[in-house]
């Protein structure tokens, strides 16, 4: 394993123009900027409708310095397959083919095409930025919205169901590399994307991505909120490399230590304000039980 990247040796090359259309405090703009630094120039991006479509700009202006094909919502995994197939047919072998989608585009409408691509062993990197609802259309619930969260389609009681565990679903395809990361830990994200570029076959990285307007917190707290999700043990940073699971970075550091209570995370965001004590207690128990297995 190479030494972890630090702020001192992180590449200064940028592939995202400043002044793009992301909201202030957008977690995705961190994830995207850092992710593209790790991918480098020889990359083709495949993007379904999502906040990223907006961030990338309106024709004829684009905020990304990499080739990108915008594709239909449900087709991302298959479209990435098609780009890779063309690259093989045209004998262009040194290109990263990278699908970049939101959580709804990945775990809900896009899961069939992604599952197909994983099963076929397509040589693609798939990055899901998980802001835990359909943010681009105005904060509707998704399969990856956590339980109890207020969204515009769960406006009073909050979402009744638990969050879909998409990285585990992808890991069940037994692909070579599955990782989670967080916008609040950009260097950990950078190293995971970088590692993904050195592996062939399907690679999946699921990135927890705080969203100030969607989660109802002040834009200056994006990193704080993202870190709390990790420090409370709700969202864990890990890698599953060839089937071997290991916690990484800030989550690894938590092993054997006392985690912050989940209520501390919930209290930072307006989206959790209808949570009752029962659910908070249940979630704390679930987190404790999960960590007991680590």
Interface residues toward other proteins, by CB under 8 A:
41-44, 46, 53-54, 56-62, 64-72, 74-75, 77-83, 85-90, 95, 112-113, 115-116, 119-120
Tell me if 104 sits within 8 A of 142, measured CB to CB: yes
Q: Which is nearer to other proteins, 66 or 250 (CB)?
A: 66
Q: Minimum distance from CB of 71 to other proteins (Å)?
A: 6
Q: Counting Cβ atoms within 10 Å, is residue 139 exposed (0-12), middle (13-18) or buried (19+)?
A: buried
Nearest-approach distance from CB 26 to other proteins, in angstroms = 17
Cis peptide before 52 (omega within 30 of 0): no
Residue 99 or 150: the one with the smaller Cβ distance to other proteins is 99
Of the pair 194, 252, the CB lying nearest other proteins is at 194
Q: Which is nearer to other proteins, 63 or 222 (CB)?
A: 63
Tokens representing residue 75 in the block? 């087709």
Q: Which of 70, 71, 9, 60 is nearest to 37 (CA)?
A: 9
Take residue 183 and report the two structure tokens written for it.
């916008």
Q: Min. distance of Cβ 173 from other proteins in angstroms? A: 12
What pairs with residue 124 in β-bridges?
A: none
Cβ within 8 Å of residue 3, ≥6 positions away: none
Select 14 or 42, whichever has its Cβ closest to other proteins.
42
In angstroms, give the least distance from the CB of 18 to other proteins. Answer: 14
Cα maximum dimension of the chain: 59
Residue 62: burial class (beta carbons within 10 Å; 0-12, 13-18, 19+): middle
Question: Which tokens is 27 given?
Answer: 């977690």
The residues with which 43 forms a beta bridge, in sequence order, are 96
CB of 105 to other proteins, least distance (A): 13
Shortest Cβ distance from residue 9 to other proteins (Å)?
24
Minimum Å gap between C-beta 51 and other proteins is: 12
Measured from the CB atom, the residue of 105 and 210 that comes closer to other proteins is: 105
Nearest to 234 by CA among 196, 275, 213, 263: 263
Which CB sits closer to other proteins, 88 or 281?
88
Q: b/e for 109-123, b at 16 or more Cβ within 10 A?
A: bbbebbeebbeeebb
């Amino acid at each position: 394993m190479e030494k972890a990247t630090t702020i001192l040796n992180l590449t200064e090359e940028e592939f995202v123009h400043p002044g793009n259309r992301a909201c202030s405090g957008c977690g995705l703009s961190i994830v995207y900027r850092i992710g593209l630094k790790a991918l480098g120039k020889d990359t083709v991006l495949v993007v379904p409708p999502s906040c990223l479509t907006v961030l990338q700009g309106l024709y004829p202006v684009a905020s990304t310095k990499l080739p990108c094909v915008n594709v239909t919502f449900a087709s991302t995994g298959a479209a990435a397959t098609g780009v890779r197939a063309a690259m093989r047919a045209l004998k262009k072998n040194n290109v990263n083919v990278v699908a970049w989608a939101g959580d709804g585009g990945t775990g809900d409408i896009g899961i069939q095409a992604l599952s197909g691509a994983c099963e076929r062993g397509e040589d693609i990197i798939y990055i899901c930025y998980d802001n835990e609802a359909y943010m681009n259309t105005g904060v509707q619930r998704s399969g990856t919205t956590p339980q109890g969260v207020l969204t515009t389609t769960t406006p009073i009681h909050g979402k009744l169901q638990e969050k879909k565990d998409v990285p585990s679903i992808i890991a069940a395809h037994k692909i070579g590399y599955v990782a989670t990361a967080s916008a609040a830990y950009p260097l950990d994200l950078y190293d995971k994307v970088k590692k993904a570029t050195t592996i062939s076959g399907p690679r999946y990285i699921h990135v927890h991505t705080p969203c100030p307007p969607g989660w109802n917190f002040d834009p200056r707290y994006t990193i704080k909120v993202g870190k709390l999700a990790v420090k409370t043990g709700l969202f864990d940073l890990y890698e599953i490399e060839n089937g071997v699971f290991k916690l990484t970075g800030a989550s690894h550091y938590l092993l054997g230590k006392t985690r912050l209570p989940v209520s501390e995370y919930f209290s930072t965001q307006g989206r959790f304000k209808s949570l009752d004590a029962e659910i908070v207690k249940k979630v704390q128990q679930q987190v404790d039980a999960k960590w007991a297995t680590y």
